[in-house]
Amino acid sequence: MKRQFFSFRPSLLEIFLLELAVWLALWLINDYVATLLTLILTAIVFAVLVIAVISEAIDRSKVPRQYFWIMGISVITPVLAAIIYLLIFGGKIEFGN
């Protein structure tokens, strides 16, 4: 019998809100780093998601459906955080002094 010491399974909404809070905090702390990470990580996660979906379409695996939803949320959340930040500050991003 397998023991589970930690059985916390957050919902998709909780994952989305946690990611959104972290991304907004990053945007407020340093918009330059947030811009770079948003562009780079969103592209990487999107590419992994596309490859995983194509792979799943070719040959079904035991990967749970929630994995694909979490990856989708991880693509949308940084972009949404950037949009919220730009709306709050009037579309101005200041890199530097």
Residue 10 inside a domain? The answer is no
**Nearest CA to 19 among 86, 88, 84, 94?**
84
Residue 71 inside a domain? The answer is yes
Task: Count the neighbouring beta carbons within 10 Å of the beta carbon of residue 19.
Answer: 18
| pLDDT at residue 74 greater than cutoff 60 | yes
> Would you place residue 2 in the very low, low, confident or very high pLDDT band (cuts 50, 70, 90)?
low
CA-based R_g, the chain, Å: 17
**Tens of pLDDT, residues 8-45:** 788 999 999 999 999 999 999 998 999 999 999 999 99
Residue 15 inside a domain? The answer is no
Residue 18 inside a domain? The answer is no
Average pLDDT value over all residues in the chain? 90
Residue 53: domain span: 30-88
Residue 4 inside a domain? The answer is no
pTM reported for the whole predicted model: 0.84
Residue burial 60-92, b: 16+ Cβ < 10 Å; e: rest: eeeeeeeeeebbbbbbbbbebbbeebeeeeeee
The count of domains in the chain is: 1
